Structures are given as C-alpha cells and as structure tokens.
Chains A and B, each alone.
Chain A
C-alpha cells in the first residue's frame, strides 16, 4: 500500500528497489491469517488448561476475521466486513457463556484440566 515513490536522495534508488521487492500484498494477510489459525488449532488440541484452550479458540476466531476482511478488500465486496461484525458478536456471547461455565467449574476444582470435564460422556 505504501507507494514506491519516496523523496529520498542518492541512496534512494536502492531503497526504492528494496521497498518494491517487499511489497505487502493482500496475500501476506492471508498467510498471517492461516498462521494464526494454525497456531490456535494446535494450541486447542495440545493445551489442557481450559482458559488457554479458550484463548486459542478466540485466536482462531480472530484469524478468520482477518481473512474475511482481506478477501473483502481483494474482491471489493463489503459483505466480508459485515460478516466480521457478526463474528465478533458471536465471539462475545460465546465468551460470556463459556467463561461462566469454566469459572464455575474451576471454582470447585482449581486444578481441573479439560480432561477432567468429561461429565457429558455417552
């Protein structure tokens, strides 16, 4: 987004070339989004602390939000940005309910992990 033209002196040509080689295209954002999503997914699978698992879920949600906005800019469609609003609302509601359950559980057993919350087994 930054324009390649700068008003620098003598070393300006090299700087311009460097800058143009490292142009930040929308693809960068997609990569960032997928990286964040991957980190969140792996964290959800690996970590046992319920609060950390929750944070990973939030991370995944935000990654998805970023991806939506990127595509909205790339395809020039404002729908993607509208969905972001919905996702944020859903995330907020989910946090309220989920944290409430987890806090209630952890109050009873402070050292509980996700594996201990197997009450709803079949």
Chain B
C-alpha cells in the first residue's frame, strides 16, 4: 500500500489539468466540486499510505519511490522520487485534509465570482506543489514544490488583480520569497559541492563536516525565513491578505508557510551536526519574531491582518521549537495550528462574507447574534490559539515552552509573554467582532487616530449581516472539532498517549527534556494562567470597557518596518544600484567597446603605408634594398 505514494500528488495534478482545459465549461459549482474531490482523493491516498506505513515495524517506516531519473548529468544524478516516512505522511495528511475542507468552503465563498473555475485551477496546482514539497526524496523535488507554491501564492494573492493593491501584494510576496529561495539554492550548491548529492538519505547520514553542515543548515534557514515569514522577511504575509480568504486560510496559515518548518525538521540531522550556535540562532529568530508579530497584532484593525500577524507569531513558536531541538513539538504545533488557524481564517471569511465584504473590525460588533455558528466555531479557535486547556493549542504550545525552558529560560520567558499577548489580541478580536453592540450601521466613525481611510468608501443603506451557507459553515464545524480535540495526538500525561512523538521518532530521533515532572506541571499552570490573564485584560478593555484601549500608531504601522525598507532601498540602496549599473556601463561595456575602437584606430594608422602611389612603393623597395645591402656589406667587414 505504501507504493501508492505517487497517487497522493497525482490526484490534484489531474484536477489541475482537467480544470485548466475544461474548467470554464464545467462552470460553477461543478469545477469546485471536482477540485474538492481531487483533494479528498489525495487525502484518501495519504490515509492509505499511512496505514501501509503503520503496518511496517518502526525502523522500516521509510519508503522511497523513484519515478524516473530527472537530472542525469555526469557526476550529478537527481531522481524524481518520493519519500514516504512518518514526517512526510503527517504533512501530507493534514495538508490534504484541511485542504479538502477549505476547497469545499471556497465553493461557497467564491460564489458568483466570474473567475470561479480559475480559482480552483490555482488551488489544485497549489495542493500538488505542496505535496511535491513534502513528499520529495531530495532537495530538488522539494525545491520544485517550493517554487510551485510560491507561484500559486502569487497567482492567488493577486486573484482580483484589477485592483492594483492586490497585484502589488502578489509581487511583494513573490519577490520576498525569492530572496529566501536564493538561500535554498545556495544550500543545494554547497551540499552538492561538498558531497556530490542532494538526496535526503545521503544528507542525513552524517556525511557533512561541521562547517558544511552549519552552512547548509543556515542557508536552508534563510529559505525558510522567506517562505515562513520570519524576521526579516515577514513583510509579505500581512500584504498577502489581499487575496480571497480561502487562500489566506490554506496557503498563508495551514500549509505553505509551514514549509520552512518542515524543511528544517527534514534536515534535522544536519542541524545536529553543525555548530551549536546555529540552532540557537534559529530559536532566537523564532522567538523574537513571535514577540514582534504579537505586538503588531495588538493594534491592527483589519480582521485578517490580526490573523496574519498571529500566523507569523505562531510560526515563530515553531522555529523556537526547531531551534531548541524539540522537533516533535514543532510538528505538533504545526498540526494544531493548521486546525485552529484555518478555522479562524475561514470564520473571519464567513464574517466578512456576512458583512458584505467589510473587513474593518471597528465596524463590526455583536455578530454572534446573527451568525451563531460562525461565532461559536470562531470562539473554539480563539480558545485553542490562546492556549486554554484542554483545547489543542494549549498542549502544543506548552510543549514548545517546555523545550525552550530546558535550553534557555530567557527564551521561555519571552515565549510566555508572547503567549499572554496572543491571548490578549485574539480576545480583543473576538470581543470587537462578536460581542458588544452592533456598529455596522454607525456613521463612518472618526477613529481616535483619524484612520478613516481604513473604512471602505461605500456605505450601505442598512447592513443586515447574515449567517453563511452550509457549504461554508460545515467545514467550520469540522475544524472546530479538530481544534478542540487535536491535542489528543500527543498528550503528555502518560507515555502511551504520546502518539505523535513515537510516530516521528524514526525521523527526528529521541529528544529528551531534562525537566522534572513537578516543574512541568508548574510550567503548564503558569502558561494557562497567562492565557487567562490575557483574556481577562482584553475583556476589561474591549468587553466591559473599564480601561481605555491603547493602540499605538507605531504598532499599527508594524514598527515602520516597511517604511524603513522603502527608505533604505529608495535612498542609499538606489545609489548603490546606480553605482553598479554605472560600473557595468562604463567599465565593462567600455572595455569591450574599447577593444573595437583600438583595433579601428590602429588600422587607420597602418593605412598610411598604402597611399596608392606607385613611386612611394618604389621608394620603399629601394630603401629596403639599401638597408639589406648595407647590412650584408658591413657584416663582412
């Protein structure tokens, strides 16, 4: 059954091809159902392969399937192959599972859009690329998927490209990702140069020297920073909210942005072989990103931007786990995050849909009375991300914090504070949107900071928000159940319940945390207390209105990071580019042209020897004869 692994990406590929050719003819909603069916088929294939792997003994859960030799080039031989092992199948399962639910949601969300079938063409291509990424047996197949998801992300963010802001957002995402891709490519080159192969089996077998391992690991981390929106390459993710909400849920919450974490987990032996400061660096970048993103999320007014910064923050937690060696915690949080973040995004999309495309939270309020299912499921996601036990987010976040405590208590403290902020800003969002008095028909309120530009110009006569159709609420319910119960895959209570840890052990090894049980329980209690404190503070500000809200401009503008980049590139950066261009024009082109000019000038000089006068030639001959004769006569003297 494990050799059916090729079937997993084959389904969405088939869907992509069929919809590419005949999508428009299939029309709405059949195109959407076909795409959903293909994604569900991929999920079914993934389950089959998973069951096949379960049937093998623990140390043989490792199956490579080679389709064909992709690059037969002298000493370099790269296969187009799949690697089915616990890690890749875990990724495939939740990518296709959550993906199928989001496909179904999108049928309802994109109802009435003139480019309905094109949307599902891109979505299926995305799922195919993501599966190539996680199932690849070497860095190049992963890179193929990496670039594929980047391209699909670009297309999907810019789906409504007639609005220039959306097109720019897509461009920004693509260009920023490209910077990360440079790191990935350099890592491949270094690996090939060092050991002549980029196959995971060879890379992970301890063949690299410490220096090379550190280099490859950090270069891959650069790529991961780009794809997973960490400092300093996170700027594209908030702008990517310009895409339709199913895109934000699938790509920028559950799947594509987790590729960086997957990559680092896949090459964890390389990180272990390198110098110790490299994983530390990864952990610090992760935890600082988590903190910074959380602070920015506290002051956002757009419902999707809060969730975008929240995603950056949670990805920071995952990299913290990777850096401290707690790979199982990272994957655990990835899975639970996929559940609750997709749920939150789809819920936000449902709210936006019900509010007729209004995204500003200051114009929402009291929505739980008119959208009960959306509200209830959203609140499940809220409690999960805030880390309230027994929801799934509590278990996974707690494990990350435990891993951090074991390595560096400072990281644990920052992570804990960020958890408090997370609870705060998510509660703020819930209270602003679903509780309180309805603000959706108020006059355009002059917000305290005068940011009326955030509010769209068109104002309806009276807005009547309504609940979304079953196509959209059914996935919400399923995801809510998963967000609530998802912790069950790795409960730390008894060793037998640590399913995920045992399942991933062949891939990531056995990571021991040297903390006593008493301390563990105390840490869990402290974390829960922080979550509840965050919720309580948010309630006192936004629900019971006892304290005035503090939303500094600097946080709202994301610490002016975008403005700083623009100033640098437009100022000294541009001078640098001009300098390089001038060098190319003057020195390089000048040298090449100079050769031509030199040849021409020397030719002009030599031309003077041939004036056409016969007598001049005769004189030349005579002079030459005299010289030769003189030489011969004087020689014999």
Contacts and interface: CB of A to CB of B under 8 A. Distances in A.
Please classify the interface of chain B as helix (H, G, I), strand (E, B), loop, or mixed, using the class held by over half of its residues: helix
B613 A114 contact: yes
A121 interface: yes
A44 B618 CA distance: 7
A49 B606 CA distance: 28
Contacts of A117: 612, 614
Given A41-B622, A45-B619, A45-B622, A122 B614 contact: no
A53 B609 CA distance: 21
Interface in A61-79: none
Interface in B579-637: 606-607, 609-615, 618-619, 622
Contacts of A44: 615, 618
Contacts of B618: 44-45, 53
A114 B609 contact: no
Contacts of B612: 117-122
Residue with the highest number of chain A CB atoms closer than 10 Å, among B609, B611, B612: B612
Contacts of A111: none
Interface size range of chain A in the complex: 10 to 19
A115 B610 contact: no
A41 B625 CA distance: 11
Contact of B607 (A48, A114, A122): A122
Nearest to A47: B615
Contact of A114 (B610, B615, B622): B615
Contacts of A114: 613-615
A115 B607 contact: no
Contacts of B614: 53, 114-115, 117-118
A51 to B, nearest CB: 13
B622 A121 contact: no
B610 A122 contact: yes
Contacts of B610: 120-122
A118 B613 contact: yes
Interface in B474-521: none
Given A41-B622, A45-B622, A122 B609 contact: yes
B615 A45 contact: yes
A45 B614 CA distance: 9
Contacts of B615: 44-45, 48, 53, 114-115
A88 B536 CA distance: 125
A115 B615 CA distance: 7
Interface in B60-98: none
Interface size range of chain B in the complex: 10 to 19
B620 to A, nearest CB: 11
Contacts of B619: 45
A68 to B, nearest CB: 17
Interface in A9-62: 41, 44-45, 48, 53
Contacts of A48: 615
Nearest to A42: B622
Nearest to B610: A122
A114 B612 CA distance: 10
Interface in A90-122: 114-115, 117-122
A122 B609 CA distance: 8
Contacts of A53: 614-615, 618
Nearest to B607: A122
A48 B618 CA distance: 12
B613 A122 contact: no
Nearest to A117: B614
A24 B81 CA distance: 106
A31 to B, nearest CB: 16
A108 to B, nearest CB: 17
Nearest to A122: B610
A53 B615 CA distance: 9
A62 to B, nearest CB: 17
Contacts of B607: 122
A119 B612 CA distance: 6
A118 B613 CA distance: 5
Interface in B261-301: none
Contacts of B606: 122
A48 B609 CA distance: 20
Nearest to A118: B612
A97 to B, nearest CB: 15
A114 B614 CA distance: 6
A45 B610 CA distance: 17
A121 to B, nearest CB: 3
B622 A122 contact: no
B599 to A, nearest CB: 15
A48 B613 CA distance: 11
A22 B614 CA distance: 42
B233 to A, nearest CB: 64
Nearest to B603: A122
Nearest to A57: B618
A119 B614 CA distance: 10
A44 B613 CA distance: 13
A120 to B, nearest CB: 6
Interface string B350-366: 00000000000000000
Contacts of A119: 612
A45 B626 CA distance: 14
Contacts of A120: 610, 612
Nearest to A120: B612
Contacts of A41: 622
B630 to A, nearest CB: 15
Nearest to A46: B615
Residue with the highest number of chain A CB atoms closer than 10 Å, among B606, B611, B614, B619: B614
A119 B607 CA distance: 14
Given A115-B614, A122-B607, 11 more contacts: A45-B619, A53-B615, A114-B613, A114-B615, A115-B613, A115-B615, A117-B614, A119-B612, A120-B610, A121-B610, A122-B606
Interface of B: 606-607, 609-615, 618-619, 622
22 contacts: A41-B622, A45-B615, A45-B618, A45-B619, A53-B618, A114-B613, A114-B615, A115-B613, A117-B614, A118-B611, A118-B612, A118-B613, A118-B614, A120-B612, A121-B610, A121-B611, A121-B612, A122-B606, A122-B607, A122-B609, A122-B611, A122-B612
Q: Please give me the 4 A-B residue pairs with the lowest Cβ-Cβ distance, nearest first.
A: A121-B612, A118-B612, A122-B610, A122-B607
